[in-house]
Structures are given as structure tokens and as C-alpha cells.
């Protein structure tokens, strides 16, 4: 739907108040490398994709908030002074969480109407929920003329998910949805929350996302379990080493190996993944900056092996997609996002693109009975008004 049609729909859904209004977009993301490192104060390298959530917003003269999800065709209404988790309309909690966090900053909000629609496939690990939080934060702060910088907004959106929605995610998804830049991946330091732009505009290669169509069933409980195991590793190393260790970011691979026999097997494997993955992210930055796509591709495959064997967050279907990419001699492939389903990210030579898409669809279907969805995306811009 174009912008005018969306405003027409907005007008049909809500009364026209003749108050401040605006239109906003926030993208989903694919993580190129650096998985399960963000909550370990480590490094990640995601890019925003050319799929997004679009939101129209307008102030109201009272203290009500009304949300309309165009895709679900559902309209809900709440009171700004009484926001509570909605068991029935689960999607509305992402928006309420953001409002709650803005109010916690001490901002006095007035009522507003929000309408949104999106084309980021849900539950596929491309961060549709982070995009929804970020676009909501952008809409509300803009309408109320609240000044908040990009990193602060990403952190606020993350808190909305942690506190209101109840998912203990790290900062990566909200960060890239807010701060992504066209033709670039971002190397984010999740300890300092600084980023560096990593150019990704290669005439010969294309990022291709393969959706396994496996819904990420176990993801929340397993995610929290991995976080606990990482904390266990940190406590273990901190007690034994003479340097300050507050996160796995502070640990060297040598140290992990030194204590291999004393660590619980799972804890050892989790630490090994996180520590080695941080090294791979930094090596990937150099590979991309020097246009060494072969090296970057190798690092992607290595990341997948580590996630599958040591961090144990892959699944049969994701492994099949990565194996098929290897069989097709694709430069690089790995699972992306939290795991247990969702998508793989592939680094594909443009000359091989059509053949890759056709072959992987056919062979994946043969092996699993599932029709994979394939998306080709360049790095897009982060959230913005339009």
C-alpha cells in the first residue's frame, strides 16, 4: 500500500483530530556474523534488510492509545495510565512496552493512534518484534518532540522487550533496526554500544536469506539457559584468573582451553563458542574491509559449526540449509539469529544467484518436505520518518 492509501485507511479507522501526525519505518535485520555474543558484551555484525514495519501515528486530545494492526485487522484500545500485559492481543505488548519505558523516563505523554503494517516474516529470526518496538519508539518520541539519540532509543526498545514482553534479548536487533545504514553492515561493540560502519557494497556478491520455515519453538527457554551457562563460565574464570573478568568478552580462547577439564562440558562449549565467535567477528570486519570475500565466507561456515556443535542452538533444517549451500560451493553460509529454526544467511556470487535459489529450494524440499522462502536483500537504512 502506498503512503496515501495508508493515510486513507488511517482516516477510516480513527477519527481525524487535526493534531500532530507522522509516518515512520523500521527495518528487520539479518546478522552476518556474531551470534549469541551481544549479551556477553561482545561484537556483532548485522545489517538492516529491505523489509520493514511501517507505522502511521497521530496524537489524540485525551489519554487513550489505540493501535490498529492492519495485517491482523485488529483494533485495540488502552488507557495511558493503566498499561497491563495483554494476554489476548500479544502483539500489542510490544507497543505498550515502549510506551511504558518512555513514561518511565518521566515523560508526560498524551493519547495517540497508531496503525502499522509490515512485510518482515514473523517468527523467522529476522527481528520483526525489534522493528515494531523501534518504529513505535520513533513515532511516539517524534509526535511528542522528545529528544532521544539513536543508541538511547535502541536501549529503550530493548528494555521494552526485556521488561514488558519478558524476553531477555540482547541489544543487537533493536540497535541495527534503529541505526542501520544503506550499503553497510554495522560492527557493534555491545560493551560500549559504539559502532563502526563496515562497507558492504560488492558488485560480485549478494546476501541471500533462506527461511527454513521452522518456527523457533524452544527459543525462549533455551536462550535463557544459554545466558545462565555463560554467566556460570564468567563466574568460574573470574574466580581463577588474575585479570578482571565481568563477561566472556574478557576471556581468551587460551584460558577456555586451559580449564577445559575442570569446566562442566556444556559450560566449556558455550564459552568456547562465544570467545571464538568474537574473534571471527573482528576477522570478518577486516575481511570485508579488504574485500576478501573468500575469507569472510570461511568465517561464516566456521561460525555455523560453532553454533551447531558447541553452542547447540541450530536444528536439523538449518544444518541442512548450510550443508546444501556448501554442496553448491556457495562462499559462506550460517544460521542467523537466536536459532532453533528461522533463517540462514548466505554469501552468494551474483553469477550463481539464480542457480543457487533454484537448487536450494528443490533439494531442501526433497530432504525436509518444506518449501523454503528465499529473500535477496542489500543492506538497508535504519528507522526513519518518511
Minimum Å distance from CB 313 to ligand GLA? Answer: 8
Q: Where are the beta strands (DSSP E) in 80-183?
A: 112-118
Regarding 94 and contact with ligand GLA (CB under 6 A), the answer is: no
Residues 144-203 that bind ligand GLA (CB under 6 A): 169-170, 172-173
341 binds ligand GLA (CB under 6 A): no
Cβ closest to ligand GLA, residue 301 vs residue 311: 311
With vertex at residue 114, the alpha carbon angle to CA 108 and CA 120, rounded to the nearest 5 degrees, is 125
Q: Which of 22, 51, 3 is nearest to 137 (CA)?
A: 22
Asked if residue 38 binds ligand GLA (CB under 6 A), the reply is yes
Which of 173, 317 has the CB closer to ligand GLA?
A: 173
Q: How far apart are CA 120 and CA 337, in angstroms?
A: 14
Residue carrying C-alpha cell 532521544: 148
Q: Is 8 a catalytic residue?
A: no
Nearer to ligand GLA (CB atom), residue 65 or residue 207: 207
Rounded to an integer, what distance in angstroms lies between the CA atom of residue 281 and that of residue 45?
Answer: 7
Distances (CA, A) of 93 to 96, 219, 307: 5, 19, 30
CB 35, min distance to ligand GLA, A: 4
Q: How far is the CB of 169 from ligand GLA (least distance, A)?
A: 3
Contact 319, 79 (CB under 8 A): no
- Give me the least distance between CB of 93 and ligand GLA, in Å please: 16
Catalytic residue among 38, 73, 86, 173: 173
Residues 249-278 touching ligand GLA, rule: CB under 6 A, are none
User: Minimum distance between the CB of residue 339 and ligand GLA, rounded to whole angstroms?
Assistant: 7
Interface mask toward ligand GLA for 17-36; x: CB under 6 A: ------------------xx
CB of residue 39 vs ligand GLA: minimum separation in angstroms? 6
Q: Is 338 in the site for ligand GLA (CB under 6 A)?
A: yes
Long-range contacts of the stretch 197-203 (C-beta < 8 A, 24+): 198/45, 198/285, 198/288, 198/289, 199/288, 199/289, 200/32, 200/47, 200/288, 200/379, 201/378, 201/379, 202/291, 202/293, 203/350
User: Nearer to ligand GLA by C-beta: 125 or 380?
Assistant: 125
Task: Give whichever of 35 and 250 is closer to ligand GLA, judged by the CB atom.
Answer: 35
Smallest distance from ligand GLA to CB 38, Å:
5
Q: Any contact of residue 248 with ligand GLA (CB under 6 A)?
A: no
Nearest of 55, 58, 69, 46 to residue 11 by alpha carbon? 58
Contact present, 349 and 205 (Cβ < 8 Å): yes
- Cα–Cα distance measured from residue 370 to residue 364, given in angstroms and rounded to the nearest whole number: 7
Nearer to ligand GLA, 54 or 174 (CB): 174
Quick check: 310 binds ligand GLA (CB under 6 A)?
no
Complex with ligand GLA: residue 222 or 241, whichever CB lies closer: 222
Nearest CA-CA partner of 384 in 208, 178, 195: 178
Q: In what order do the strands lie in the sheet with 373-376?
A: 332-336, 343-349, 205-211, 373-376
Residues 59 and 78 sit within 8 Å (Cβ to Cβ): no
Q: Binding residues for ligand GLA, how many (CB under 6 A)?
A: 10
Give yes or no for residue 337 binding ligand GLA (CB under 6 A).
yes
- Could you list the residues that contact ligand GLA (CB under 6 A)? 35-36, 38-39, 169-170, 172-173, 337-338
**Could you give the residue numbers annotated as active site?**
173
Amino acid at each position: 500500500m502506498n503512503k496515501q492509501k495508508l493515510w486513507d485507511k488511517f482516516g477510516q479507522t480513527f477519527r481525524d483530530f487535526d493534531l500532530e501526525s507522522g509516518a515512520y519505518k523500521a527495518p528487520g535485520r539479518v546478522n552476518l556474523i556474531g551470534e549469541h555474543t551481544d549479551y556477553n558484551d561482545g561484537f556483532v555484525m548485522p545489517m538492516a534488510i529491505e523489509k520493514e514495519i511501517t507505522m502511521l501515528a497521530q496524537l489524540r486530545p485525551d489519554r487513550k492509545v489505540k493501535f490498529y494492526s492492519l495485517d491482523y485487522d485488529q483494533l485495540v484500545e488502552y488507557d495511558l495510565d493503566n498499561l497491563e500485559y495483554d494476554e489476548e492481543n500479544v502483539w500489542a505488548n510490544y507497543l505498550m512496552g515502549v510506551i511504558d519505558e518512555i513514561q518511565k523516563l518521566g515523560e508526560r505523554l498524551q493519547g495517540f493512534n497508531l496503525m502499522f503494517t509490515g512485510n518482515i516474516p514473523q517468527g523467522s529470526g529476522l527481528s520483526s518484534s525489534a522493528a515494531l518496538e523501534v518504529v513505535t519508539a520513533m513515532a511516539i518520541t517524534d509526535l511528542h518532540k522528545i529528544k532521544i539519540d539513536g543508541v538511547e532509543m535502541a536501549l529503550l526498545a530493548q528494555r521494552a522487550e526485556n521488561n514488558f514482553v519478558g524476553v531477555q534479548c540482547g541489544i543487537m536487533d533493536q540497535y541495527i533496526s534503529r541505526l542501520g545504514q544503506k550499503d553497510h553492515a554495522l560492527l557493534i561493540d555491545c560493551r560500549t554500544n559504539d559502532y563502526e560502519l563496515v562497507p558492504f557494497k560488492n558488485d560480485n556478491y549478494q546476501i541471500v536469506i533462506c527461511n527454513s520455515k521452522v518456527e523457533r519453538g524452544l527459543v525462549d527457554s533455551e536462550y535463557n539457559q544459554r545466558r545462565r551457562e555463560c554467566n556460570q563460565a564468567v563466574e568460574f574464570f573470574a574466580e581463577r584468573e588474575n585479570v578482571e573478568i565481568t563477561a566472556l568478552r574478557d576471556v581468551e580462547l587460551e584460558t577456555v582451553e586451559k580449564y577445559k577439564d575442570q569446566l562442566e562440558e556444556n559450560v566449556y562449549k558455550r564459552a568456547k563458542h562465544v570467545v571464538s565467535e568474537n574473534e571471527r567477528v573482528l576477522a570478518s570486519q577486516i575481511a570485508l574491509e579488504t574485500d576478501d570475500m573468500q575469507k569472510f565466507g570461511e568465517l561464516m561456515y566456521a561460525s555455523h559449526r560453532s553454533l551447531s556443535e558447541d553452542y547447540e542452538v541450530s536444528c536439523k533444517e538449518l544444518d541442512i540449509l548450510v550443508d546444501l549451500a556448501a554442496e553448491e560451493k556457495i562462499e559462506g553460509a550460517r544460521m542467523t539469529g537466536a536459532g532453533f529454526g528461522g533463517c540462514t544467511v548466505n554469501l552468494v556470487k551474483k553469477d550463481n544467484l539464480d542457480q543457487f535459489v533454484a537448487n536450494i529450494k528443490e533439494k531442501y524440499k526433497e530432504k525436509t518436505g518444506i518449501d523454503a522462502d528465499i529473500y535477496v536483500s542489500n543492506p538497508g537504512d535504519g528507522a526513519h520518518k518518511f
